[in-house]
Structure formats: C-alpha cells, structure tokens
C-alpha cells in the first residue's frame, strides 16, 4: 500500500464510520406543534408512543412507537400512509435511513399558521420531504418552491434551505432533489412522491412553518446529526500519519 492508496480509501472509510456513528445518535429533544388541527394527534417523533387515529376517534394503529426512518414507517399521525422508496429501482436516500423523524397530522396540511418548534441537542441536518404537487399539481417533478411560489415560501435558499440532490430520484437527475415515495393507505403501492430539501441547524430550536395546500400530503421531517468535527479530524490525522509512516519506509 502506498500513500495514494491510503488517501483514496480515506473518504470511503470516513463515510462508513460517519454513517455508523450517526445512525446511533439522537438529536431531537422536543417538538412543539402550534395551530395544528386539535381533533388529531399532534406531531410525534422517534421514540414516542401514541395511537394513530382519525377525528372520529377511530384508532388506526394502537400504541405506535415511532421508529427511526426507513421503508414502511408511518408517515402521519392521522393516516396509515407510509414512507417508502420512490420506486422498485430507486432506494430511500441513505442519509435519511436510520434518522429520527417527525410525523405530522396529514390534515395539518391546510393550516395556514401551523408551526413546529423542533429542538435539537447537537448540530443537525433537518430534512423536509415535500409533496411534489405543491404549487404546481404535478407529481412528476419537484414542488415549485421559493420566493413568489405562493406556498411554503419559507423554504428558500435565503433561509438556508437547499435541495438534497444526489441523483436519488426517478429521473436519475442530480440537478433535481432526491425523492421518497408515499404509500397511501399502507397497501404496498406508492401513490405519490415527495422531494427532499435540507437545512443545517445548530444546537437549539428551529421553527418549521406551514404547508398550506389542501389535497396533498403534508410534509415529513427527518433529523440527522451532522458529522462531528472531531470524527473528521481523527480520520484525517489517521490518513496523514499513515502517509508519513509509509514515506519513511526505506
Ligand atoms: Ca386542517
Ligand atoms: Ca411538481
Ligand atoms: Ca409500504
Ligand atoms: Ca398505496
């Protein structure tokens, strides 16, 4: 092995180690919903247990303990809809899997003054899963977002939000946000798609606002701690020391 080989393995090792350490870590310490529908369960997050129910008092799933994000996790507090891969050939984005996530009531989608105060104990990425049909009624391409779009204008570059774009979408297009599927009714068929946007936040409370469009799926939220600087420093130091040792060999 030479230094170049070691350096080339470095990033792969870093990603594997960072992913392993991220998935075990918790970030969310509280979620407070304001101005949501009062006849449905308020927002819940990984680790909490509640009854998924509709306003008729019908319990749809009793004692649901919100798991970490992954295929077939329940998407809303008042539906049996699930988050799923966008298609049989497009997996869930790896950076979302194993993260903590927040369920909203789907019927909070039309609440114009909704807010979610999300508190985190470590610097984190907040990912929003936003229905492709927002503002343009077209499920085949991303939602129409940003200043002047009409709905969810708070999700803007000016506010720190960017596309999570790794080509993990049905179009295989890295210039568009990654996609996840929504299996409406949890019956094994994906019926709609949401695009992924993200923002990096520090320790403290971040406020998410309204979706405000009826007839769509409410947005979902996934939270992942950002890689710790000391993790990266250790890895870089390790690669550097390895190179130094290799160069000193006769
Ligand atoms: Ca509502
Ligand atoms: Ca669209
Ligand atoms: Ca499913
Ligand atoms: Ca379905």
Parallel, antiparallel, or unpaired: how do β-strands 192-201 and 124-131 relate?
A: antiparallel
- Strand segments, DSSP code E, in the chain are 28-34, 44-45, 49-53, 59-65, 73-74, 82-84, 100-103, 115-120, 124-131, 162-163, 179-183, 192-201, 204-208, 220-225
- What does the DSSP assignment read for 46-66? TT-EEEEE-TTS-EEEEEEEP
Number of domains in the chain: 1
Q: Read off the pTM.
A: 0.84
In contact, 208 and 220? CB cutoff 8 Å: no
Looking at all shown ligands, the one closest to residue 73's CA atom is 3
Domain membership of residue 121 (yes or no) is yes
Q: Is residue 233 part of a domain?
A: no
Distance CA 51, CA 61 (A): 6
With CA atoms as reference, report the closest residue to 223 among 151, 122, 137, 134.
122
Q: What's the 35 CA to ligand 2 centre distance in angstroms?
A: 26
Ligand nearest to the CA of 75: 3
Range of the domain at 155: 26-226
Does the residue 173 lie in any domain?
Answer: yes
Look at residue 165 and tell me if it is in a domain.
Answer: yes
Which residues, chain by chain, have CB under 5 Å from ion ligand 1?
37, 107, 110-111
**Is position 1 within any domain?**
no
- The answer to whether position 2 is within a domain reads no
Alpha-carbon span 67 to 101, nearest angstrom: 8
Q: Which residues contact 185 (CB under 8 A, 6 or more apart)?
A: 79, 80, 81, 191
From residue 227, give the alpha-carbon distance in Å to each of 52, 62, 107. 33, 35, 34
Residue 15 domain-assigned?
no
Local confidence pLDDT in tens for the 250 residues of the chain:
555 544 555 555 554 455 455 456 889 999 999 999 999 999 999 999 999 999 877 999 999 999 999 999 999 999 999 999 999 999 999 999 999 999 999 999 999 999 999 999 999 999 999 999 999 999 999 999 988 988 999 999 999 999 999 999 999 999 999 999 999 999 999 999 999 999 999 999 999 999 999 999 999 999 999 986 555 566 556 656 655 565 666 5
34 CA distance to ligand 1 centroid (A)? 12
């Amino acid at each position: 092995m030479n230094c170049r080989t070691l350096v080339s393995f470095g990033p792969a090792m870093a990603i594997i180690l960072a992913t392993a350490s991220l998935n075990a870590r918790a970030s969310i310490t509280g979620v407070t919903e304001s101005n949501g529908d009062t006849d449905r369960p308020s927002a819940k997050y990984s680790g909490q247990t509640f009854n998924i129910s509709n306003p008729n008092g019908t319990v749809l799933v009793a004692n649901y303990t919100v798991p970490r994000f992954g295929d077939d996790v329940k998407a809303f507090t008042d539906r049996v809809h699930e988050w799923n891969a966008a298609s049989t050939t497009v997996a869930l984005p790896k950076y979302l899997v194993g993260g903590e996530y927040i369920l909203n009531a789907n019927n909070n989608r039309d609440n114009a003054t909704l807010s979610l105060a999300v508190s985190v104990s470590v610097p984190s990425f907040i990912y929003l899963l936003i229905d492709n049909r927002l503002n343009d009624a077209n499920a085949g391409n991303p939602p129409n977002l940003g200043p002047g779009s009409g709905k969810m204008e708070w999700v803007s570059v000016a506010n720190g939000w960017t596309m999570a774009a790794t080509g993990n979408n049905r179009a295989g297009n890295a210039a568009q946000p990654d996609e996840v599927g929504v299996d409406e009714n949890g019956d094994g068929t994906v019926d709609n798609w949401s695009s992924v946007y993200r923002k990096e936040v520090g320790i403290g409370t971040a406020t998410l606002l309204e979706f405000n469009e009826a007839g769509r799926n409410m947005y979902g939220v996934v939270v992942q701690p950002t890689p710790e600087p000391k993790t990266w420093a250790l890895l870089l130091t390790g690669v550097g020391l390895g190179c130094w040792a290799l160069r000193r060999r006769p």
